[in-house]
């Protein structure tokens, strides 16, 4: 199975709440450059945080790929969630794109690679990581690449 982890694109610095921050024009452009890296990949599901900027990021990717299934919105991809919670939700039969935020994305990638939270993966806005393994186990996945837009 493959897991792609995409951090949302650059977002506006202020909104009524953190969850309501929207992508900037630069953020949209970053996301589209990252989406181009996913063309031809065997993605079976796009799962995103409920925050506006992650939803916008996921929708841009969905449109760029011509991906027909709906985006699944889940609370466990919010920025401060525990990577262990995310791992518990992963289905070993799915090649999945997760769209979320720092610090979760960096912590999750480090956790999937190393099995601990002491080595988070640095992730810029719209950075895309690809991990692979037979099963989505903490410390059992290989980081194939991290691409920055």
pLDDT tens for residues 23-74? 999 999 999 999 999 999 999 999 999 999 999 999 999 999 999 999 999 9
Residue listed under structure tokens 């919105």: 73
Taking the model in full, what pTM does it have? Answer: 0.96
Angstrom distances, CA of residue 58 to CA of 47, 75, 134: 8, 15, 25
Name the DSSP letter for residue 19: G
pLDDT of residue 135: 87
Q: Mean pLDDT across the chain, nearest whole number?
A: 96
Distance of CA 72 to the CA centre of its chain: 12
User: Quick one: pLDDT band at residue 91, thresholds 50, 70, 90?
Assistant: confident
* CATH class of domain segment(s) 2-147: alpha beta
State how beta strands 96-100 and 142-147 pair.
unpaired
Could you state, in order of their start, the residue ranges of all structural domains in the chain? 2-147
Q: Could you tell me the end-to-end alpha-carbon distance of the chain, in angstroms, rounded to an integer? A: 24
8 A C-beta contact, residue 46 and residue 56 = no
Evaluate if residue 92 carries a pLDDT over 90: no
Rounded to whole angstroms, how far apart are CA atoms 29 and 10?
A: 9
If we measure between CA atoms, which residue out of 90, 79, 88 comes closest to residue 4?
Answer: 90
User: Quick one: pLDDT band at residue 89, thresholds 50, 70, 90?
Assistant: very high
8 A C-beta contact, residue 103 and residue 7 = no
User: Quick one: pLDDT band at residue 12, thresholds 50, 70, 90?
Assistant: very high
Tokens read off for 112: 């999937």
Evaluate if residue 93 carries a pLDDT over 80: no
């Amino acid at each position: 199975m493959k897991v792609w982890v995409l951090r949302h694109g650059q977002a506006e610095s202020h909104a009524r709440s953190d969850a309501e921050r929207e992508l900037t024009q630069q953020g949209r452009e970053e996301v589209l450059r990252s989406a181009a890296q996913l063309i031809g990949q065997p993605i079976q599901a796009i799962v995103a945080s409920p925050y506006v900027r992650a939803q916008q990021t996921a929708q841009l990717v969905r449109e760029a790929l011509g991906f027909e299934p709906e985006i699944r919105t889940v609370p466990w991809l919010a920025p401060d969630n525990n990577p262990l919670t995310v791992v518990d939700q992963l289905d070993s039969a799915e090649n999945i794109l997760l769209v979320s935020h720092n610090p979760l994305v960096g912590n999750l990638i480090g956790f999937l690679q190393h099995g601990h939270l002491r080595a988070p993966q640095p992730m810029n806005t719209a950075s895309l990581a690809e991990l692979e393994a037979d099963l989505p186990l903490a410390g059992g996945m290989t980081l194939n690449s991290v691409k920055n837009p």
